[in-house]
């Protein structure tokens, strides 16, 4: 397992040494860094299988470190070690764009098994980089042929039907999960009545940018209809999609528009998946997501829902 290299950015002498020992005693090659600059310099020379970051620190901005890791040509999973208070840990994770997190105190077995799972995730994602290249080529060709929705610059529903159809066939052929998310801006019709067109377009654009900044390159955002955005998520099961949906909901809840500073914005979100070994049509998958969205709206909005189990 010597080739399984882990980078550990943790300045606390006791905790950092303990985490390093946990990994090395299980055969991992661990390089520990005390400062982000040291990690950044090493990333230019070597690519690790996983990066572990200390999440309870004011020594650096976690999201900036994660973004630098994400700039690598290869996908590198990021694990955050967060403080013992769960609500604080969840907030740090939501703001970080990391892949997952563990809450202190850290158990050796949990820590090691999580790192192993992230290494497997990295292997699967990097094996499917060809899929990302193919999707990007399809995006470009369809953009030229059909154009995009002018405000968000997201692809339109015609593109969505094509890309979801392609991904469903891939998922069924290779037996991997696939999820879609449908987001609706709460009280959108009232918003249209109360603000002018220029302000409305600015609000939609900024919400769209928040969404784009918090999804993977492999994910495909689509402007479904007024106030509604769908996201296709290849290689993602229901749990992963719900985690992203909650992150998007929280990001929009914290958004403030310059032209409407007193106004609050929220999202209702429906999530549906194509599970492993499940055959499902394009129509039925969209129907499941919209059904979950309707449930979220009927429950008062600003929430994430999944389809009811039949």
Which residues have a Cβ under 8 Å from the Cβ of 40 and sit 6 or more positions away? Answer: 68
Assess whether 122 and 154 both reside in one domain. Answer: no
Assess whether 95 and 141 both reside in one domain. Answer: no
Assess whether 123 and 164 both reside in one domain. Answer: no
Q: How far apart are CA 287 and CA 307, in angstroms?
A: 10
Domain housing 260: 129-305
Compute CA distances 78 → 96, 168, 223, whole Å.
10, 28, 30
Assess whether 144 and 272 both reside in one domain. Answer: yes
Instruction: Assign residue 90 the CATH number of its domain.
Output: 3.40.50.2300
Instruction: Assign residue 272 the CATH number of its domain.
Output: 3.30.70.270
Q: How far apart are CA 15 and CA 258, in angstroms?
A: 42
Assess whether 153 and 232 both reside in one domain. Answer: yes
Assess whether 17 and 103 both reside in one domain. Answer: yes
Q: How far apart are CA 208 and CA 265, in angstroms?
A: 13
Assess whether 122 and 134 both reside in one domain. Answer: no
Assess whether 290 and 147 both reside in one domain. Answer: yes
Contact between 268 and 155 (Cβ < 8 Å):
no
Give domain status of residue 20, yes or no: yes
pLDDT the model gives residue 277: 58
Among residues 91, 112, 127, which one ends one of the domains? 127
pLDDT the model gives residue 102: 86
Helix (H) or strand (E) holding 6: strand 5-9
Among residues 70, 92, 127, which one ends one of the domains? 127
Give domain status of residue 205, yes or no: yes
Give domain status of residue 207, yes or no: yes
Among residues 127, 152, 172, which one ends one of the domains? 127
pLDDT the model gives residue 146: 46
Assess whether 22 and 78 both reside in one domain. Answer: yes
Contact between 277 and 171 (Cβ < 8 Å):
no
Assess whether 39 and 123 both reside in one domain. Answer: yes
Q: How many CA atoms lie within 13 A of 254 on its CB side?
A: 11
Q: How far apart are CA 245 and CA 259, in angstroms?
A: 26
Give domain status of residue 57, yes or no: yes
Give the pLDDT means over successive 10-residue stretches in the chain (310 positions). 80 90 92 91 90 83 85 82 78 79 85 86 69 57 52 67 73 83 95 88 87 86 88 90 95 86 92 78 87 96 88
pTM, 2 dp:
0.53
pLDDT the model gives residue 250: 94
Give domain status of residue 89, yes or no: yes
Assess whether 212 and 271 both reside in one domain. Answer: yes
Give domain status of residue 35, yes or no: yes
Assess whether 140 and 194 both reside in one domain. Answer: yes
pLDDT the model gives residue 21: 93
Give domain status of residue 230, yes or no: yes
pLDDT the model gives residue 12: 87
Domains held by the chain: number: 2
Give domain status of residue 310, yes or no: no
């Amino acid at each position: 397992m010597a080739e399984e290299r882990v980078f550990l950015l943790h300045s606390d002498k006791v905790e950092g040494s303990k985490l390093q020992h946990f990994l090395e005693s299980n055969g991992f090659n661990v390089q520990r860094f005390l400062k982000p600059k040291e990690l950044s310099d090493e990333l230019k020379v070597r690519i690790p299988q996983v990066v572990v970051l200390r999440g309870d620190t004011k020594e650096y901005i976690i999201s900036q470190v994660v973004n630098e890791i994400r700039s690598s040509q290869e996908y590198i999973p990021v694990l955050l070690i967060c403080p013992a208070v769960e609500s604080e840990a969840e907030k740090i994770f939501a703001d970080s764009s990391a892949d997952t997190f563990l809450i202190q105190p850290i158990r050796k077995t949990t820590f090691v098994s999580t790192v192993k799972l992230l290494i497997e995730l990295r292997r699967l994602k990097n094996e499917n980089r060809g899929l990302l290249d193919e999707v990007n080529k399809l995006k470009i060709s369809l953009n030229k042929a059909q154009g995009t929705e002018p405000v968000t610059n997201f692809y339109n529903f015609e593109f969505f039907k094509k890309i979801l159809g392609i991904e469903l066939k891939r998922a069924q052929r290779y037996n991997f999960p696939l999820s879609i998310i449908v987001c609706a801006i709460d009280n959108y019709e009232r918003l249209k009545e109360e603000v002018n067109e220029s302000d409305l377009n600015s609000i939609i654009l900024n919400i769209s940018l928040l969404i784009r900044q918090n999804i993977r390159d492999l994910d495909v955002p689509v402007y479904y209809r007024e106030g509604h955005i769908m996201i296709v998520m290849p290689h993602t099961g229901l749990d992963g999609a719900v985690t992203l949906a909650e992150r998007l909901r929280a990001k929009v809840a914290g958004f403030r528009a310059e032209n409407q500073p007193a106004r609050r914005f929220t999202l209702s979100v429906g999530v549906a998946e194509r599970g492993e070994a499940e055959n499902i049509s394009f129509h039925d998958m969209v129907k499941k997501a919209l059904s979950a969205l309707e449930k979220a709206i009927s429950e008062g909005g600003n929430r994430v829902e999944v389809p009811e189990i039949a």
